Amino acid sequence: MKLALQNDMAITNDDVRQLDRSYVFHSWSMQGNLNPMVIAGAKGCELWDYDGNTYLDFSSQLVNVNIGYQHPRVLAAMKAQLDELVTIAPATANLARGEAAKRIVELAPKGFSKVFFTNAGADANENAIRMARMFTGRDKVFSAYRSYHGNTGSAIAATGDWRRVPNEYSRGHVHFFNPYLYRSEFNATTEEEECARALAHLRRMIEVEGPNAIAAILLESIPGTAGILVPPKGYMQGVRELATEFGIMLILDEVMAGFGRTGKWFAFEHDGIVPDLITFAKGVNAGYVPAGGVLISEPIARYFDDHFFAGGLTYSGHPLAMAAIVATLDAMKEEKVVENAAAIGDGVLRPGLEALAEKHPLIGHVRGVGLFQAMELVTSREKKTPVTAADMAKIKTALVNAGLLPFVVENRIHVVPPCTVSAEQVQQGLAIFDRVLGEFAGLVG
Ligand code: PLP
């Protein structure tokens, strides 16, 4: 289907951009000087515009299109659901909703039994926090400075990054520093030191804030937007032990890291721990229809058998989103998409990024797991001076002009292609990085 702008005239990028700039208000922006990229269509790991340009996607949009674009099986399931029943209230029992919940529970660790569906990741965190508060009868929520948890009341107040500051209206939020050895807050020089000091800091924070007042620790299993900060070995186990010791619920935010991105269904599987609540969205159906949710462990689920849950959403478990979840998860299993993320991410992409770092002094640090990788760009490796925002914008433009859609945050390039990416496509993307980073070698001083 084509949405014609004027009669049958061919649509151009400029037409679509002008339409956008006339009527669309964008997220996280000053509206005045926006120049949004125009995308007309996509398939697999490739996108194209109206002017004949094609792009290899190394962003998965906002790290959500894990299964790639226009997956035929997911589209077919959505079309079938459209014909059967497109919308129904959350209080009803619905086949697609039940099947989606069953599949998600089956992927979770033993001891998880129910799913509460939301519209996206922010309200998943919102409702996980609410459940932890009701279950414990406590109020405070701990979360990390280097984090993003979404743009609603408690989720944005729990967020650590700059987006929290103009939005802090929700009560009871306390922040702590999570580990990040490359720019350690603890003067650590080894992973072991960073881990031990970050855990000691968290214990002290819990003690001084009053353990009996703390409902939950909310953490991204691997902080994503904050920089793909894979926690040092032992950190997540240490957080789990602290939470257990003080009767605090551990909520792991798997919105970005979950559903295959790291080469496992859930990123916390790398640490061998089990949280009390898990939040998810994005990859669960690759964002084909907005959806998220809270995976609830048995004790909390049982608590709400005879305690009123004071929360709900008109579109909780929307059938179209649920059909997309069922088909996405089934296709991911059959096509071994999670295994592909591990094999291509750890076996091809990561060594390729490390080889680039050997060659380009602009790359200060490479880190990540599976297809969740990041390069931190610096003008001095010794001083770790971040490349400026203006220069990052130029690098981004050069990558796009070379046919690669990157995910750029601050001085980092997050390398996060769809989990269906092939080794050849990764090599193609690495070659573009190589060429473009070479053009900017002069930034290193
Ligand atoms: N949690 C994490 C870790 C995220 O990365 C995001 C979005 O990027 C969210 C929550 C919020 O999800 P949404 O934008 O779907 O509300």
Task: For 392-436, write each residue's pLDDT tens digit.
Answer: 999 999 999 999 999 999 999 999 999 999 999 999 999 999 999
Question: How far, in Å, from the CA of 146 to the mean position of ligand 1?
Answer: 14
List Cβ neighbours of 413 (8 Å cut-off, separation of 6 or more).
374, 375, 377, 395, 399, 406, 407, 433
Question: How far, in Å, from the CA of 148 to the mean position of ligand 1?
Answer: 7
Instruction: Give yes or no for residue 126 CB within 6 A of ligand 1.
Output: no
Instruction: Give yes or no for residue 256 CB within 6 A of ligand 1.
Output: yes
Question: How far, in Å, from the CA of 280 to the mean position of ligand 1?
Answer: 9
Query: What is the identity of the amino acid at 411?
Result: N
Q: Whose CA is nearest to atom 10 of ligand 1?
A: 149
Model confidence over 155-211: pLDDT tens digits? 999 999 999 999 999 999 999 999 999 999 999 999 999 999 999 999 999 999 999
Return mean pLDDT, the chain.
Answer: 97
Decide if pLDDT at 2 tops 70: no
Decide if pLDDT at 350 tops 90: yes
Handedness of CA 341, 348, 194, 224 (dihedral sign): negative
The atom of ligand 1 lying closest to the CA of 62 is 8
Distance, CA of 171 to CA of 139 (rounded, Å)? 9
Instruction: Give yes or no for residue 284 CB within 6 A of ligand 1.
Output: no
| Residue whose CB lies within 8 A of the most ligand 1 atoms, among 117, 159, 164, 255, for a mutation test | 255
Decide if pLDDT at 8 tops 90: no
3-state SS assignment for residue 4 = coil
Structural domains in the chain plus CATH codes: 39-70+336-443 (3.90.1150.10), 72-334 (3.40.640.10)
Distance, CA of 273 to CA of 222 (rounded, Å)? 13
Q: Whose CA is nearest to atom 5 of ligand 1?
A: 256
| Residue whose CB lies within 8 A of the most ligand 1 atoms, among 149, 156, 262, for a mutation test | 149
Q: Whose CA is nearest to atom 1 of ligand 1?
A: 149
Closest CA to 317 of 125, 90, 112, 93: 90
User: 421: phi > 0 → left, psi -120 to 50 → alpha, else beta; which?
Assistant: beta
Model confidence over 103-132: pLDDT tens digits? 999 999 999 999 999 999 999 999 999 999
Question: How far, in Å, from the CA of 255 to the mean position of ligand 1?
Answer: 6
- pLDDT band per the 50, 70, 90 thresholds, residue 9: confident
Q: Whose CA is nearest to atom 12 of ligand 1?
A: 121
Taking a C-beta distance cutoff of 8 angstroms, is the pair 66, 337 a contact? yes
Taking a C-beta distance cutoff of 8 angstroms, is the pair 297, 112 a contact? yes
| Residue whose CB lies within 8 A of the most ligand 1 atoms, among 27, 148, 252, 261, for a mutation test | 148
The encoded tokens of residue 300 equal 């909390």
Q: Whose CA is nearest to atom 11 of ligand 1?
A: 150
pTM, full prediction: 0.97
